[in-house]
Amino acid sequence: MAQKINTLLILFGDQLDKNYAAIKNIDPKRDAIWMAETDHEISYIPTHKIKITFFLSAMRHFRDELKEEGFHLYYHQLTRRKSNDKGRDFPEILKKDLNQIRPEKVWMIQPGDYRVMEQVSQIIKNANLSLKIWQDDHFFNTVQQFNHFIGSKKNYLLERFYRKLRKEYQVLMSLNDQPEGGNWNYDKQNRESFKNEPAAIKSPRAFQPDDTTLAVIDLVNQRYAHHPGRLDHFDLPVTHSQAMALVRDFVKHRLSHFGKYQDAMWTDQPFLYHSRLSCLLNVKLISPRYVVSRIEEAYYQNSLPLNSVEGFIRQVLGWREYMRGIYWNEMPQYSQKNHLNAREDVPEFFWHGKTRMNCVHHTMKSIIQYSYAHHIQRLMVMGLFGLLWGIDPYKFHQWHMAMYADAVDWVSLPNTLGMSQFADGGLVGTKPYAATGKYINRMSNYCQGCIYNPQKAVGEEACPITSLYWDFLQRNQKKLSQVGRMNLQLKNVERKNEKEWHAIKERVQFLRKNKDQL
C-alpha cells in the first residue's frame, strides 16, 4: 500500500476478535492494522513456553485471517534470531513505525494492561498524532458502567454486581424477573470432593498444531529454550473456530459435573470438569456472550443441573467482569498494595515443582505441562502457600503472569494480589484464604501420597502448610483482628499455650532455613 494511511489501528496480542467495533470501522482501502510480537513481553520474566506459543500462534492465525479478508497489516514477527528484531520492546518498535508510516490518526482498543495504555498514549502524544481509544466491547460491562455501579462504596460485593448483570442481560432468569430455580446462587452445591478416584472424565479436546503453530514451536524452542514449561504436547485452540469447538466439547462432556466438583482436586487430573476456556476468552478468540449463551442454551435444551450451569455462568458473567471492573477502578495504585507487608521471594520450586509437598508438586506438574491449574489449585495450593509464606504479592503476580497461559494484567492482578494474597486488605475478598493442610486433605487425595501429615503443625512430619498457617495468623494477628470474618480463626490462636507456640515457631524457622528442601 503506497498511499498514505488514514487510520492505524494498534491491535494487541489479547485482542483477537474480528467483531470489535474498531475493526469493523477499519476501511481496508485507506486504513491499516498494526501488530507486533516483541521479545521484551516474553522475556522480562521468563514466560512459560506454552503461553508464548499460544499467544504467538493465535496472533499469526488472526493476522492471516485478516489478510485473507483484505485488511492491510503491519505485523512484526519474531524470528529465530534476535538480531532480526526491529526493536526490543513494544514502544521502541511502535515509535520507529509511526515515524515511517505517519498515519493521519491512531486508534487502539483499551488494552488489558494499565501500563501499556499509558505507554502507548504517551508515544502517540509525543509523535503529535491524534489518538482514539475504543472501549473493549468484548466484555458485557464497560469500565464506566462498573464505576457507576460501585459509586462511592468502599467495598465491592460480587453478589450484587452479579445479580445486576443477570437481570440486565436476562441470563438464567424466569419470566417474572426472578432467578431460574428460585435462587441466585448455588455456591453451597459447588463444594464436593471425590471420595474415590473419579470415574473417567473426558479431557478437553486436543488440537493438533498446524504448520503455523509448528513454526512458532520451533522459534520458542530455539530462542526461549531456557524458559519454564514443555512443548511436546501443545494442543490448545489457536483460532476462533477451534475455540468454539472447545466450548461445544466442554458443554457435551464436562459441564454437567462442573458445579458439584468445582473445588475438588485429584492427582494427575489437571482439568477434571473445568472448561480450559480462560486463555481463549482472555485473548478474545471467544466472547463471554457466546460462552454464556451456549451454557444457558444447554441448560434449557438438555436439562443440565442448575448448580453446574449457574456456577459456571457466575464465573464468567460475575467474577470475570467484576475483576476487570476492580482493576480499572483501582489502578495504578492497586499494583503497589501490600497490606500484610509480605516481602519474601517466590521460592525456586514455584518454577520447577521439585518439592516433597505433594499438593504443590502435583499442581506444579500441571502448570509445567499445560501452563494451567484450576481455580482451587491456584487459590488453595499455590496461592495459599504464597500467602502463608509471605511472598511479596507483586512478585507472586509476576510469577503468575509468567506461568499461566491465561494471565493478562487486568485479571491476574486482582486475583493474585487481591483474592489470593489479601494485599488489598479486603477489597476483593472479605477475608484471607488462609487454611491448614486439612483443607487440602478434604478436597483432594494429595495428602495420601505425601511425606507430611496435614493434621500436624509441629515435629518432623508436620505439614508445612499447617505449621505456616498458625505462624501466619500469629504474625498478622493485629491486622487480621480488624477483619470480622477472621474472629473464629483468631480465637484458636488465643487457645494455644506458650509451649505450643514455641514448637510452631521452631518448626517454621526450620522450614524457612531449609526452603529448598521442603
Chain residues binding ligand FAD by CB under 6 A are: 274-278, 281-282, 312, 315-316, 319-320, 323, 374-375, 378-379, 383, 400, 404, 406-407, 411-412, 415-416, 419-420
| C-beta of residue 228 within 8 angstroms of C-beta of residue 368 | yes
In the bound state with ligand FAD, the residue whose beta carbon lies nearer, of 11 and 283, is 283
**Least separation in angstroms between CB 409 and ligand FAD:** 9
Give me the helices (H) in 224-271, please. Answer: 240-253, 255-258
Beta bridge partners of 76: 36
The option from ligand FAD, ligand SF4, none interacting with 446 (CB < 5 to 8 A, set by class) reads: ligand SF4
Q: How far is the CB of 338 from ligand SF4 (least distance, A)?
A: 26
**Measuring CA to CA, which residue among 296, 244, 253, 300 is closest to residue 272?**
253
Residue 80 CA: distances (Å) to CA of 39, 219, 220: 11, 5, 8
CB of 314 to ligand FAD, least distance (A): 8
The CB-of-446 to ligand SF4 minimum distance in angstroms stands at 4
| φ, ψ for residue 198, nearest 5 deg | -65, 145
Which of ligand FAD, ligand SF4, none does residue 251 bind (CB under 5 to 8 Å by kind)?
A: none
User: Toward ligand SF4, which CB reaches closer, 94 or 462?
Assistant: 462
Closer residue to ligand SF4 (CB): 83 or 196: 196
CA-to-CA separations, 308 to 246, 268, 415, in angstroms, rounded: 17, 23, 22
Residue 9 or 291: the one with the smaller Cβ distance to ligand FAD is 291
- What does the alpha-carbon distance between residue 115 and residue 110 come to, in Å, rounded to a whole number? 11
Cell of 292: 454464556
- Three-state DSSP class for 225? coil
Identity of the residue, 22 or 326, whose beta carbon is nearer to ligand FAD in the bound complex: 326
Could you tell me the smallest distance in angstroms from the CB atom of residue 99 to ligand FAD? Answer: 35
Cβ atoms of 456 and 466 closer than 8 Å = yes
For residue 407, the minimal CB distance to ligand SF4 (Å) is 24
Summarize as ranges the residues that interact with ligand SF4 (CB under 6 A).
357-359, 437, 440-441, 446-447, 450, 452, 454, 463-465
Q: How far is the CB of 453 from ligand SF4 (least distance, A)?
A: 6
Judged by beta carbon, residue 90 or residue 446, the one nearer ligand SF4 is: 446
C-alpha to C-alpha distance for 1 and 32, rounded to whole angstroms: 9
Q: Sheet containing 7-10: which strands, arranged edge to edge?
A: 73-76, 32-36, 7-10, 105-109, 130-134
Q: Which does 281 bind (CB under 5 to 8 A by kind): ligand SF4, ligand FAD, none?
A: ligand FAD
Is residue 313 within 8 Å of residue 262, measured between CB atoms? no
Q: In this complex, which beta carbon is closest to ligand SF4, that of residue 213 or of residue 358?
A: 358
SS3 28: coil
Q: Rounded to the nearest 5 degrees, what angle is found at the Cα of 194, between the Cα atoms of 206 and 349?
A: 65
Q: Give the rounded distance of the alpha carbon of 424 from its chain centre.
A: 18
Q: How far is the CB of 276 from ligand FAD (least distance, A)?
A: 5
Give whichever of 66 and 411 is closer to ligand FAD, judged by the CB atom.
411
Between 328 and 349, whose beta carbon lies closer to ligand SF4? 349
103 binds, among ligand SF4, ligand FAD, none (CB under 5 to 8 A by kind): none
Specify whether the CB–CB gap between 217 and 53 falls below 8 A: yes
* Closest distance to ligand FAD from the beta carbon of 191 (Å): 14
C-alpha span between 402 and 351 (Å, rounded): 10
| Nearest of 335, 408, 324, 317 to residue 143 by alpha carbon | 324
- Closest approach of ligand SF4 to the CB of residue 450, in Å: 3
- Residue number with CB closer to ligand SF4 (93 or 465): 465
What does DSSP say about strands 73-76 and 7-10: parallel, antiparallel, or unpaired?
A: unpaired
The length of the chain is 518
